[in-house]
Amino acid sequence: MGNLVPMNQEVILSSLHVKFLLIVFWLSSIIVSAQEPYPTGTLLDDSGYDLHEAYDLKGYNGNLPKVVSLKDNLPKVGDQVNLPLDVGWAIAHATTLLDSRSKVLRGDVKFRSPDFVNMLLSEKEDICEKGVSLSDAVNVLKDIGIPTIDRYRDPCPEGINGEVLFLARSEDVYSFQKTFNRDMSNKEKVERIKNKIALDQPVLIAMHTPRSFLFPGVFWQPKETEPEEWPLHTMVVVGYDNSVGGGAFEIVNSWGKDWGNQSFTWLRYNDLSFVRYSYAVSYLRDADNNYSVFRGELNFNDINKDTVLPVKNTNYRGHYNMSISEGKIDFNLTGGLDKPFYIKIYYKSEEGVSQIYPSETWRSSLFDFSYKEFEIPGNSNYYTLEDDPNASLFIFMSFKNIDEKDFTTVVGVANSIEELINAKAYETSRLVLWDQDGISFSGKMSGNHILPLLIDLDFKP
């Protein structure tokens, strides 16, 4: 066995120093590699955001449901990979979810292009280096639709593509409503976002994302206390639950399936201070000549062969009589309009007047599915009307909010639509075509019009 030669102390220290440096380098590489896959690309733009007005709370009744989720309507979740393109991906998630939520497109939903807004802003910013302003994105999409991802895919566009721009003009136009002002209280911001989610509108949020947000799991619990120190990143609120963590919003991110819970996590109401900007997404398209196109149909289910379908009352358009052979009748209302509109349905009998729709105190009568199908009560369900002598069904459609208390009173004393309209001094549209068989209608109406429909129900013994 050879002799052991002791190493010089300086050599030993040098070796330990090298090992220490290697460990530090290894740890730093882990941190860098952990953050690199999660880029942020939302530019700070307080002045641009402040120029927009927060939506008017008029028409929102409060008393919201405790849980609302739009998550299942998102057909897939995209991944921005290593590029700062979160604004485009968030808008694509929100608009695709809205398309899926609309009945007319279910079963045939194509993901919207996450790159189209980048193309529109390509001459203003170096998109793939800096990202974009959420407010700028909202502004350029105000009057134009978004093509689907199979029609346009170019993450780092260098200019405007005229052909794609032409295609976009035939697509649905989306509305982006600012949900809150930056100086509002946290409580007010929470309620305003919940209002929009309860109306089936996904909500874009630009949020400060600290290091703890890189690995949130199912539920994010921030360790940082100064939100504004961290970069902004845009995502989509797809639901809320008052029982999760004392109340929380569920959000979908574009950082891939490995982030959070398969791209989703929960943001507590109390942590909304990390959210700087927010817009609710819905449909909106202006009609020509201040008129809007609409159509609708009253549908009946399981009608007995002896039941007589609605017959026009010759005294007034929109007034029908219906003879029913059994002690009940099932109905729903379907149709579509090209602007947000209001619907109220009342049932009048000897016991008084009751409001059928909206039945929940929290739900607004406003429909935001412009140029899309609507269905009341929804999900192929029907309302059931029981045997009542001298019963009548009143349905009103309008582009202005219908005063609930006032209309309930008028319906109670009116024996015909003519009396009701005269009492309220509403103007009915004369550009309406009423079908001869059953109750279906189509036409145009302006913002000053109301479309009334009255069906007198005669229940036969």
**pLDDT tens digit sequence for 118-164:** 998 887 668 888 899 999 999 989 778 899 999 999 988 888 888 88
Residue 65 lies in a domain: yes
Q: Which of 252, 283, 314 is the last residue of a domain?
A: 283
Q: What is the pLDDT of residue 310?
A: 60
What confidence category does residue 2 fall into, taking pLDDT thresholds of 50, 70 and 90? very low
Please tell me whether residues 313 and 262 are part of one structural domain: no
Please tell me whether residues 54 and 149 are part of one structural domain: yes
Reference 274, options 335, 317, 233, 328; nearest CA is: 233
Which of 217 and 27 is assigned the larger pLDDT? Answer: 217
- Its pTM stands at 0.62
Based on C-alpha coordinates, what's the Rg of the chain?
28
Q: How far apart are CA 86 and CA 38, in angstroms?
A: 10
Please tell me whether residues 138 and 82 are part of one structural domain: yes
Q: Average pLDDT for residues 69-75, to the nearest whole number?
A: 89
Which of 80 and 452 is assigned the larger pLDDT? Answer: 80
For residue 437, give its domain range: 288-459
What are the DSSP calls for 114-155, one per residue? SSHHHHHTTTTS-HHHH-B-HHHHHHHTTT----BTTT---S
List beta partners, residue 252.
236, 264
Residue 228 lies in a domain: yes
Please tell me whether residues 301 and 359 are part of one structural domain: yes
What confidence category does residue 444 fall into, taking pLDDT thresholds of 50, 70 and 90? low
Reference 279, options 396, 138, 394, 150; nearest CA is: 138
What confidence category does residue 22 fall into, taking pLDDT thresholds of 50, 70 and 90? very low
Q: Which CATH number is 164's domain given?
A: 3.90.70.10
What are the Cα distances from residue 362, in Å, to 63, 196, 429? 5, 12, 30
Q: Is the pLDDT of residue 104 over 90?
A: no
Residue 36 lies in a domain: no
Please tell me whether residues 270 and 296 are part of one structural domain: no
CB neighbours of residue 347 within 10 Å: 21
Residue 339 lies in a domain: yes
Phi, psi of 48 (to 5 degrees): -65, -40
By DSSP bridging, strand 232-241 and strand 248-252 are antiparallel
Residue 16 lies in a domain: no
Q: How far apart are CA 406 and CA 55, in angstroms?
A: 25
Please tell me whether residues 350 and 377 are part of one structural domain: yes
Please tell me whether residues 299 and 272 are part of one structural domain: no
List beta partners, residue 322.
457
Q: How far apart are CA 419 and CA 445, in angstroms?
A: 20
Please tell me whether residues 353 and 254 are part of one structural domain: no
Reference 162, options 150, 181, 147, 180; nearest CA is: 147
Q: How far apart are CA 47 and CA 112, in angstroms?
A: 28
Residue 366 lies in a domain: yes
Please tell me whether residues 326 and 355 are part of one structural domain: yes
Q: How far apart are CA 249 and CA 258, in angstroms?
A: 20
- Number of compact structural domains in the chain: 2
Reference 93, options 13, 189, 204, 171; nearest CA is: 204
Tokens describing residue 150: 């199979």
Residue 5 lies in a domain: no
Please tell me whether residues 158 and 52 are part of one structural domain: yes
Residue 384 lies in a domain: yes
Q: Which of 231, 256, 283 is the last residue of a domain?
A: 283
Please tell me whether residues 437 and 306 are part of one structural domain: yes
Please tell me whether residues 319 and 372 are part of one structural domain: yes
Q: Which of 221, 249, 283 is the last residue of a domain?
A: 283
